[in-house]
């Protein structure tokens, strides 16, 4: 069974074709600058690469490129389009309604569109992506939606409510939802397997998804009890360009002083803050790390602020969990940035955590990075959100 995984953004459409017999990536690619001019990249499992500048006015046009790349020309990987059994879509915001992946129906599309007020850029693009997939593949090919928010739906109200007037929760659903759920689910399940408790019962884990966007989740008995991101993926600690949590009054204060509209302030908080905003160097972690090595003081401040902020969340989550069995690092920074991992684990020395510095330096593979006598086990587990989407899609399609 081959499954096409789609991640549709407002001006991009990433895809990956996965052969579920062996869970092998057959081809993957990206349609960028949709509605602007258009850049298309397609890579196959055996190293063939197709790139071209091509006009893609909308997501339907992008799907035509994907279809063509899969079935013809230099990057061809399948004979016929009907070899694609099903399509799985990544959806950012599933609100309180979706606590698991579901098959796409007209009602589901309507629900995703309805949650657009909570994730305007993302959910609108996802609906465009689903409709474009239906237009490209026909309505006989089953489609499944997998939500970033779903794994966090087990949070109790004490964790997901904020101290705002209750009516805003009732009227608009203002609460913590959490994101990166697909990744937290994948790595926490894998961690439970590594702990020898595949059903998760009796486990207390913190998963650290550290990428351009970053979040932590506290996972008890295999279920999320708290997470750092909130109504949107802005909450929590400093990220590449996102501020993370700040005193809400600082936001209204800056808006007044700088005469900024809500959408302008949104850009400040989401695109101009975080590691970029403090360091003034870059949002990319490698650039910031290089600047720190060269003695750039603001880069060092940004670096240290992030470590400090993450460690405070870790401390809070240990209390929320009532202890800690394991901590997992994943995503671009979590999998590759040994200095940050080491700093965060050293802050847990008071608990009896001992880092294996040699193992911590190994990159690109699943590994334990604490010593056998460490009181808490530390792991690097490479995430694979596309595979989770493909697995969920397969499971739902097989039930049809
Ligand atoms: P997202 O999926 O949120 O866009 P990623 O998970 O791909 O982000 O993470 C991107 C971040 O990971 C960037 O800040 C990048 O600098 C960092 N990163 C990627 N590879 C490495 C590496 N080899 N060493 C250090 N940092 C890395």
Q: What tokens were used for 159?
A: 């964790």
204-210/223-227 β-pairing: unpaired
Ligand 1 and 331: CB distance under 6 A: yes
Q: How far is the CA of 354 from the centre of ligand 1 (A)?
A: 25
Compute CA 279 distance to the chain's CA centroid, rounded to the nearest angstrom: 24
Mean pLDDT of 71-96: 96
d(CA 324, CA 378): 10
Asked whether the domain spanning 181-385 has the same topology as the one spanning 2-147, the reply is yes
The reported pLDDT for the residue numbered 73 is 95
Task: Locate the domains of the chain by residue range.
Answer: 2-147, 181-385
335 Cβ closer than 6 Å to some ligand 1 atom:
no
From CA 41, how far away is CA 390, in angstroms rounded?
Answer: 21
CA–CA distance, 271 with 273 (Å, rounded to integer)? 6
What is the tens place of the pLDDT at every residue in 150-206?
999 999 999 999 999 999 999 999 999 999 999 999 999 999 999 999 999 999 999
Above pLDDT 70, what percent of the chain? 100
| Atom from ligand 1 closest to the CA of residue 337 | 25
The string of pLDDT tens digits covering residues 228-254 is 999 999 999 999 999 999 999 999 999
Residues known to be catalytic: 148
Please tell me the predicted confidence (pLDDT) of residue 363: 83
Ligand 1 center from residue 211 Cα (angstroms): 5
What predicted TM-score, i.e. pTM, was given to this entire model?
0.95
CA of 111 to the centre of ligand 1 (A): 32
Distances, alpha carbon 370 to alpha carbons 120, 140, 310, 312, 327, in Å: 41, 49, 19, 20, 10
Q: CA 163 to CA 96: how far, in whole Å?
A: 19
- 212-222 pLDDT, tens digit per residue, is 999 999 999 99
Which of 213, 231, 72 lies closest to 155 in space, CA to CA? Answer: 231
Per-residue model confidence as pLDDT tens digits over 337-372: 999 999 999 999 999 999 999 999 988 799 999 999
Q: Is the CB of 12 under 6 A from ligand 1?
A: no
Q: Which atom of ligand 1 is found nearest the CA of 240? A: 14
Distance of CA 230 to the CA centre of its chain: 13
> Does residue 291 sit in helix, strand or coil?
helix
User: Does 10 have pLDDT greater than 90?
Assistant: no
Strands 223-227 and 214-220: antiparallel
Fold of 2-147: Nucleotidyltransferase; domain 5 (3.30.420)
What is the b/e burial string over 9-41, where b = at least 16 CB atoms within 10 angstroms of the residue's CB? bebbbbbbbbbbeeeebbbbbbbbbbeeebbbb
Q: Is the CB of 213 under 6 A from ligand 1?
A: yes
388 pLDDT higher than 80: yes
pLDDT for 14-69, tens place per residue? 999 999 999 999 999 999 999 999 999 999 999 999 999 999 999 999 999 999 99
pLDDT computed for residue 321 by the predictor: 98
Task: Judge whether residue 120 has pLDDT over 80.
Answer: no
Is-contact 149 93, C-beta < 8 A? yes
Q: How far is CA 252 from the centre of its chain?
A: 28
pLDDT of residue 366: 97
CATH number for the region 181-385 comes to 3.30.420.40
333 has a pLDDT exceeding 80:
yes
Q: Is the CB of residue 334 below 6 angstroms from any atom belonging to ligand 1? A: no
Q: Ligand 1: distance of its center to the CA of 290 in Å? A: 14
DSSP 237: S
pLDDT of residue 121: 79
pLDDT at 398 over 90: yes
Strands 84-91 and 143-147: parallel
pLDDT bracket for residue 117 (50, 70, 90) = confident
């Amino acid at each position: 069974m081959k499954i096409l995984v789609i991640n549709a953004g407002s001006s991009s459409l990433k895809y990956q074709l996965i052969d579920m017999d062996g869970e092998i990536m057959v081809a993957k690619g990206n349609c960028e600058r949709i509605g602007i001019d258009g850049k298309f990249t397609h890579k196959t499992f055996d190293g063939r690469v197709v790139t071209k500048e091509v006009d893609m006015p909308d997501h339907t046009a992008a799907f035509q490129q994907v279809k063509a790349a899969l079935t013809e020309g230099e990057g061809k990987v399948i004979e016929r389009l009907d070899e694609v059994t099903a399509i799985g879509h990544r959806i950012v915001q599933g609100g309180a309604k979706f606590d698991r992946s579901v098959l796409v129906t007209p009602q589901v599309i309507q629900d995703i569109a309805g949650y657009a007020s909570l994730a305007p850029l993302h959910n609108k693009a996802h609906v465009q992506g689903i409709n474009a997939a239906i237009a490209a593949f026909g309505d006989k090919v089953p489609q499944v939606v997998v939500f970033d928010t779903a794994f966090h739906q087990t949070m109790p109200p004490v964790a997901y409510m904020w101290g705002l007037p209750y009516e805003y929760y009732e009227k608009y659903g203002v609460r913590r939802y959490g994101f990166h759920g697909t990744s937290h689910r994948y790595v926490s399940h894998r961690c439970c397997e590594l702990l020898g408790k595949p059903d998760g019962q009796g486990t207390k884990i913190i998963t650290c998804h550290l990428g351009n966007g970053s979040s932590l989740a506290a996972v008890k008995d295999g279920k999320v009890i708290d997470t750092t991101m909130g109504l949107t993926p802005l909450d929590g600690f400093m990220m590449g360009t996102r501020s993370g949590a700040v005193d809400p009054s600082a936001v209204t204060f800056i808006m007044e002083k700088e005469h900024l509209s809500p959408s302008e302030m949104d850009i400040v908080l989401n695109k101009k803050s975080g590691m970029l905003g403090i360091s003034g160097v870059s949002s990319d972690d490698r650039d910031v790390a290089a600047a720190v090595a060269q003695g750039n003081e603001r880069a060092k401040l940004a670096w240290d602020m992030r470590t400090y902020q993450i460690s405070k969340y870790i401390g809070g989550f240990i209390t929320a969990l009532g202890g800690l069995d394991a901590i997992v690092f994943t995503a671009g920074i979590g999998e590759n940035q040994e200095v940050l991992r080491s700093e965060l684990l050293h802050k847990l020395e008071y608990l009896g955590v001992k880092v294996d510095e040699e193992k911590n330096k190994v990159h690109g593979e699943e590994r334990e990075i604490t010593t056998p006598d460490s009181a808490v086990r530390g792991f690097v587990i490479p995430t694979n959100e596309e595979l989770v989407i493909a697995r969920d899609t397969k499971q739902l399609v097989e039930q049809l």
